[in-house]
C-alpha cells in the first residue's frame, strides 16, 4: 500500500486578499512535511473556473514548486485536461519533460477529458467531443515523449507536422500513466489501456474489491492494448482525511470539510446553477447541509426525492465521507480493508473545505507515526511479487500493439530570413 495526498486547492468563501497565496503556501508546506514523513505521492488536479471547489488551474507550476522543496515524494498530475483547446499536446509533453527532469524522475502523469459545461464550454469544447479529444491527444503526447523526432499527426482533433519535442522525460520510456475514473466501467477502460486507475469515487472496501478484480482481470486479458510504451498496473482510491487520537476531535476538525467537498462537487456536476463571481457555494452549503443529511449521522432521503435519484446517490457518498476521518486505529482498520482487496494506493484529500493548516500537519504526523509503519514493512517485497505475477500478462499486452514509425529523415523546414536588416527579393526589386 502506498499513500498520497491530492490537492484540489479548495477555497470556500469569503475570501481575503491573501487567501489564495496562503492556500498555496500552506499546501507546499504540507507536501514538504509529507516528503519528510515518507508519504509516497503528492497529486495535483487541474480545474478551471471552479470557484471554491478547485483553484488548481496551473498544476504544473505547483508541482514544479513542490519539486524544488522535496527529495523523494513522487509528484503526480491527477489529472491534466487533454482536449487540445485547453492544453495543446506539445505543450503538455514539454511540461512533462521539464517536470520529470527537475524532479529527478519523480513524475506521474494522470490524464482526463475535462468535466462540466462550465469548464470545457469556456474553451469552445462540446461535451460530446471531449472523450475523443482526450484519447487522441493522449496518444499524441505519448508519441511526443518517445519519438525522436515526433513524426507528426494528422487527426480529427490534433494536427501537427514533424518536430522533435524537447526535453524528453528522465523516466524511460515515459512517466507512469494514469487515468481518471469515476465508475467501474472506466476502471476497466484504464486496464484495457494499460494505465493506472485513479478512482475519484468514494467507494467502500467491499465495492472496491469488485473494481480491483475487474481492473486486474481486464489487464490480464486479451483486451489490454496499452496506450503507452509501458504498463502501469495500479489502482488508487481517494478518501477525505483527518486523524486525531480522539474521534470526536477528528470529526469536529474534518467532517464538515468532507461534506463541503461532496456538496461543491454536486453543485458543479449535478444540481447547482452557477453565476460566475456571484454564487456563494459555502453559504448555500451552510443553509442546505442539515436538510441534505450532511450531519454526523446522515438521514435517509425520501423514497422519491424528485431529482431522479440524485439525492440517494449523494447520501451513498455521504456515508463514505468519514472513512478516512478518525483515530489512528480507525484509519488503520480502513486501510487494512482496502489493502486486503488489492487497492494499491490510498490518496487523502486534506486541503478541502475549511480544514485548518495546523490540523492537517498534526494529522499527517500522527498518521505517519501510528498508521504507516504497518503498511511500509514488507511493501517492496509484495510489490516485487506482484510485478512477477503480472510480468507475462504485461509482456503479452505490450506485444499486441505495434508502434509503427514514419520515416521523416528527409523532412526539412526551409529557413526564413526575417531578422532585422534582411529583405526578400521582392523588397530588393
The DSSP-derived string for 301-340 is PPS--SSTTHHHHHHHHHHHTTTTEE-HHHHHHHHHHHHH
Question: Can you tell me the mean pLDDT for 93-97?
Answer: 99
Question: Can you tell me the mean pLDDT for 75-100?
Answer: 99
pLDDT at 316 over 80: no
The model's pTM: 0.93
- Asked if the structure places residue 428 within a domain, the reply is no
pLDDT at 312 over 80: no
Q: Is 31 left (phi over 0), alpha (psi -120 to 50) or beta?
A: alpha
- Asked if the structure places residue 410 within a domain, the reply is no
CA distance 41 to 135: 25
Ranking 250-254, 355-359, 415-419 by mean pLDDT, the lowest is 415-419
Containing structural domain, residue 240 = 2-399
- Asked if the structure places residue 65 within a domain, the reply is yes
Q: What is the CATH number of the domain that holds 21?
A: 3.20.20.30
**What are the helix (H) ranges across 242-303?**
247-266, 281-288
Which one, of 281, 209, 231, 227, lies nearest residue 49 by Cα?
A: 281
The structural domain count of the chain equals: 1
pLDDT at 55 over 60: yes
Q: What is the pLDDT of residue 208?
A: 96
- Asked if the structure places residue 415 within a domain, the reply is no
- Asked if the structure places residue 172 within a domain, the reply is yes
- Asked if the structure places residue 423 within a domain, the reply is no
- Asked if the structure places residue 170 within a domain, the reply is yes
Tell me if 325 sits within 8 A of 255, measured CB to CB: yes
DSSP per residue, 207-240: HHHHHHHHHHHHHTSTT---SSSS----EEEEEE
Number of residues written out for the chain: 429
**What are the helix (H) ranges across 129-183?**
130-146
Tell me if 137 sits within 8 A of 89, measured CB to CB: yes
Question: In this predicted model, what pLDDT tens digit does every residue of 216-249 receive, in sequence order?
Answer: 999 999 999 999 999 999 999 999 999 999 999 9
Longest CA–CA separation in the chain, Å? 87
Residue of higher predicted confidence among 300 and 346: 346
Q: Dihedrals φ, ψ of 237, to 5°? A: -120, 145
Cis amide linkage into residue 331, ω under 30° from 0: no
Place of cell 478516512: 324
- Asked if the structure places residue 422 within a domain, the reply is no
pLDDT at 176 over 60: yes
Amino acid at each position: 500500500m502506498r499513500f498520497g495526498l491530492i490537492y484540489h486547492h479548495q477555497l470556500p468563501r469569503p475570501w481575503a486578499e491573501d487567501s489564495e497565496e496562503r492556500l498555496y503556501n500552506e499546501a507546499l508546506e504540507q507536501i514538504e512535511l509529507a516528503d519528510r514523513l515518507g508519504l509516497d505521492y503528492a497529486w495535483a488536479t487541474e480545474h478551471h473556473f471552479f470557484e471554491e471547489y478547485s483553484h488548481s488551474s496551473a498544476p504544473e507550476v505547483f508541482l514544479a514548486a513542490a519539486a524544488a522543496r522535496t527529495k523523494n515524494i513522487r509528484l503526480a498530475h491527477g489529472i491534466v485536461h487533454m482536449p487540445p483547446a485547453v492544453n495543446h499536446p506539445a505543450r503538455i509533453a514539454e511540461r512533462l519533460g521539464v517536470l520529470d527532469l527537475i524532479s529527478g524522475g519523480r513524475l506521474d502523469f494522470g490524464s482526463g477529458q475535462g468535466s462540466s459545461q462550465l469548464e470545457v464550454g469556456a474553451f469552445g469544447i462540446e461535451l460530446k467531443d471531449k472523450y475523443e479529444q482526450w484519447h487522441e491527444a493522449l496518444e499524441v503526447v505519448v508519441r511526443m515523449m518517445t519519438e525522436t523526432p515526433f513524426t507528426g499527426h494528422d487527426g480529427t482533433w490534433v494536427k501537427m507536422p514533424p518536430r522533435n519535442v524537447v526535453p524528453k522525460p528522465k523516466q524511460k520510456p515515459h512517466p507512469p500513466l494514469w487515468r481518471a475514473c469515476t465508475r467501474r466501467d472506466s476502471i476497466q477502460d484504464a486496464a484495457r489501456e494499460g494505465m493506472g486507475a485513479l478512482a475519484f469515487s468514494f467507494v467502500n472496501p467491499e465495492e472496491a474489491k469488485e473494481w480491483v478484480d475487474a481492473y486486474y482481470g481486464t489487464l490480464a486479458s486479451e483486451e489490454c492494448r496499452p496506450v503507452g510504451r509501458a504498463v502501469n498496473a495500479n489502482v488508487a482510491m481517494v478518501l477525505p482525511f483527518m486523524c486525531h487520537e480522539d474521534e470526536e476531535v477528528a470529526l469536529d476538525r474534518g467532517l464538515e470539510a468532507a461534506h463541503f467537498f461532496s456538496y461543491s462537487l454536486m453543485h458543479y456536476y449535478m444540481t447547482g446553477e452557477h453565476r460566475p463571481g456571484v454564487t456563494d457555494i459555502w453559504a448555500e452549503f451552510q443553509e442546505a447541509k442539515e436538510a441534505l443529511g450532511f450531519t454526523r449521522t446522515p438521514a435517509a432521503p425520501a423514497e422519491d426525492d424528485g431529482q431522479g435519484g440524485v439525492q440517494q446517490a449523494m447520501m451513498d457518498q455521504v456515508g463514505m465521507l468519514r472513512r478516512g476521518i478518525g483515530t489512528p486505529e480507525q484509519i488503520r482498520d480502513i486501510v487494512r480493508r482496502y489493502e486486503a482487496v488489492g487497492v494499491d494506493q490510498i490518496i487523502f484529500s486534506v486541503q478541502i473545505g475549511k480544514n485548518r493548516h495546523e490540523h492537517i500537519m498534526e494529522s499527517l504526523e500522527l498518521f505517519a507515526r501510528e498508521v504507516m509503519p504497518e503498511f511500509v514493512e514488507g511493501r517492496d517485497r509484495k510489490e516485487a511479487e506482484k510485478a512477477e505475477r503480472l510480468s507475462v500478462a504485461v509482456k503479452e499486452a505490450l506485444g499486441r500493439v505495434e508502434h509503427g514509425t514514419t520515416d521523416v529523415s528527409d523532412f526539412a523546414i526551409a529557413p526564413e530570413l526575417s531578422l532585422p536588416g534582411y529583405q526578400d527579393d521582392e523588397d530588393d526589386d
